[in-house]
Structure 1
Amino acid sequence: MKKALSLVIFIIFSIILASVENKVKADICHEGLGNCNQCDERCKAKHGPTAQGDCNNIYQICTCNYDCGPPPPAPPRRQCSGGTGLCDTKCGNPCCNLSCARKYPGGSGFCDNSLGHTLLCQCQYPC
């Protein structure tokens, strides 16, 4: 009886362990990337360094295999600076901000008085 009970406990433990192990393993996703030119490089660029590009030599089609899950974070965007001229003394920062947004996509601005009495509209925008 003790041997049978031990065997049942062992089987239950094995089933639990196997189900937990399957949850830990990441699923593999596949995406077609067209022709085979630089297949592995394009796959890694799109889905991260652990992705693997595989070229089907018969059909010349690139398949990208990668861990399913959130994509790798995008590289930070650089910020560039520009300007739109003098600030309107009556409107100030709101007008400067609007002017920067019109001139530079995603831009924002502020009035800068670091040159003494002259207010210049300084802009920052992604580039």
Structure 2
Amino acid sequence: MVSRTVGDGPTTCIAQLGDCAAPGPDCNGRCQSIFPGGFGSCDSSFPPQCICRYNCPGPMPPKPHRCTNNNGGCSREECGDQCCDFGCKRKYPGPDTIGTCETAPGTLLSLCLCTYTCSGPPGNHKTAVSPARV
């Protein structure tokens, strides 16, 4: 189990490293071998547990949300991914926008799918589901 304490200084994490009576290095040694610069001590529970306190990084920023939208029909024979990518970048400007011409297996249905960074919580995005006929 790891818990975090956030204050004015660096974030402090606390990890339980098991029973203090366990064979092997002492609690502080175990702590420092896993978390260099950490400090380990036995708590007063029964049986005593090795508690390790160490500086850890703060919370990671959330990853950007990715959305996928249908940008109409496409044809692999004409210009496929290249035309799709161009149209998607024009419709959804951004450095990580990608357009791909996808063909449904066993059919002649092709669809230009745009994947891009969007705002909103996960699951609150549009996903193309109906392919266009070429």
Asked if these proteins are the same fold (TM beyond 0.5), I'd say no
Q: Which band: TM-score by shorter chain?
A: 0.3 to 0.5
TM-score (norm 2): 0.40
Higher strand share: 2
Choose 1 or 2 for highest CA Rg.
1
Which structure has more RCO (C-alpha within 8 Å, separation ≥ 6)?
2
TM-score (norm 1): 0.42
Higher helix share: 1
